[in-house]
Amino acid sequence: MRLPKFGPVRFRWTRPLGGAIRNATVSRDGGRWYISFCVEDGEAEAAANGKPPVGVDRGVAVAVATSDGGLDEREFVTAGEAARLKRLQQRLSRSLRVHGRTRGSKRRDATRAQLGRLNARIRARRADFAAQTAVRLVREHGMVAVEDLRIKNMTASAKGSVEQPGRNVRQKAGLNRAILAKRWGGFLLKLEHAARYHGAKIEKVNPAYTSQTCNACKHVASESRKSQAVFRCVACGHQDHADVNAAKNILAAGLAVTGRGDLAAGPSVKRQPPERLAA
């Protein structure tokens, strides 16, 4: 492979390309260098597989919950890895305070390398989970309904400004880290990519009130969510796992959108009723 300003570079193939090369990207992760190729395989999208639909709820405690009752409470960082991450980050922070940000240090470089390798292993584990789960869902279902979440807005900082400081900043920062750790966006990308080859359709639906709506009677109440895992409707008494109940609502919304042919609509927004003009 010939790279600009570097010349010929040797690399090891991991799989056949299977198409015409359009571009290449060189990246470094965990101290290792990778090259990825974007190819045009010439394959058309697979025909609809005709399999039953499913709703998917992405969560923090439960990574993926499906409308058929499936729960995947996956943790990507073990307790030992979390403790090691904390130790390495503390060691790196102390080295910065001792040596200053402009001075070099072999020990600091070694700590950064260890931290990079550990984070790369965790990222690879998350990517592997996203890819395997996505392929399983599109192989077994013809339509996968997911919430059209605005992850960037959901993980924005709550610190506010000097004039208007935020509240519960530390709690919000912890929630942001937990959301980003589950790779919601990466999982959706894997779903959309895998669906192209397995005859499935990915339907994005409005996420409003999916966790507060009873799937049995459609009553909406925040009090029905008794805890992170328990949903008990205050109107009809229907009880279910909270994430599975949300996934069923997502599936119903996806079927409603598909039924009316509103497939090209963008992300839903909550609309306010028009103001009445004074007579």
Catalytic annotation present for 43: no
> What's residue 249's pLDDT?
95
Q: Exactly one of 43, 45, 57, 240 is catalytic; which is it?
A: 57
Helices 79-99 + 106-140 axis angle, to 10: 150
Q: Which of 33-47, 101-115, 261-275 has the highest mean pLDDT?
A: 33-47
> What's residue 262's pLDDT?
43
Q: Exactly one of 192, 243, 262, 275 is catalytic; which is it?
A: 243
pLDDT over threshold 70, residue 97: no
> What's residue 183's pLDDT?
86
Of 51-55, 127-131, 267-271, which gets the smallest average pLDDT? 267-271
Confidence of residue 5 (pLDDT cuts 50, 70, 90): confident
The per-residue pLDDT for range 28-46, each reduced to its tens digit, is 888 889 998 888 887 778 8
Type of residue found at 197: Y
Mean per-residue pLDDT, 240-250: 94
Mean per-residue pLDDT, 153-169: 80
Q: Exactly one of 109, 147, 192, 240 is catalytic; which is it?
A: 147
Mean per-residue pLDDT, 76-85: 92
> What's residue 177's pLDDT?
86
Please state the three-class secondary structure of the chain as a single string. CEECCCEECCCCCCCCCCCEEEEEEEEEECCEEEEEEEEECCCCCCCCCCCCCEEEEECCCCCEEECCCCEECCCCCCHHHHHHHHHHHHHHHHHHHHHCCCCCCHHHHHHHHHHHHHHHHHHHHHHHHHHHHHHHHHHHCCEEEEECCCHHHHCCCCCECCCCECCCHHHHHHHHHHHHHCCHHHHHHHHHHHHHHHCCEEEEECCCCCCCECCCCCCECHHHECCCCEEECCCCCCEEEHHHHHHHHHHHHHHHHHHHCCCCCCCCCCCCCCCCCCC
The per-residue pLDDT for range 188-224, each reduced to its tens digit, is 999 999 999 999 999 999 999 999 999 999 999 999 9
> What's residue 100's pLDDT?
55
Token couple for 132: 């395997």
pLDDT over threshold 90, residue 64: yes
- In Å, how far from its chain's centre is CA 117? 22
Kindly state the percentage of the chain with pLDDT values over 90. 47
pLDDT over threshold 80, residue 160: no
Confidence of residue 171 (pLDDT cuts 50, 70, 90): confident
Confidence of residue 279 (pLDDT cuts 50, 70, 90): very low
pTM score, two decimals? 0.80
CA dihedral sign of residues 193, 195, 199, 203? negative
Rounded-to-10 torsion of CA 168, 173, 179, 183? 170
Please state the three-class secondary structure of 71-86 as a single string. EECCCCCCHHHHHHHH
Give CA–CA dist 219/14, Å, rounded.
52
Supply the mean pLDDT for the chain: 85
pLDDT over threshold 50, residue 272: no
Q: How far is CA 139 from CA 64, 91, 93, 186, in A?
A: 16, 46, 46, 18
Give CA–CA dist 138/125, Å, rounded.
20
What does the domain layout of the chain look like in residue ranges?
208-265
Catalytic annotation present for 148: no
| Higher pLDDT pick, 93 / 104 | 93
The per-residue pLDDT for range 110-149, each reduced to its tens digit, is 999 999 999 999 999 999 999 999 999 999 999 999 999 8
> What's residue 80's pLDDT?
93
Token couple for 246: 């949300």
Catalytic annotation present for 147: yes
> What's residue 104's pLDDT?
66
Give CA–CA dist 73/145, Å, rounded.
20
Kindly state the percentage of the chain with pLDDT values over 70. 89
Contact (Cβ atoms closer than 8 angstroms) between residue 148 and residue 204:
yes
Question: Residue for token digits 């984070």?
Answer: 119
> What's residue 14's pLDDT?
86
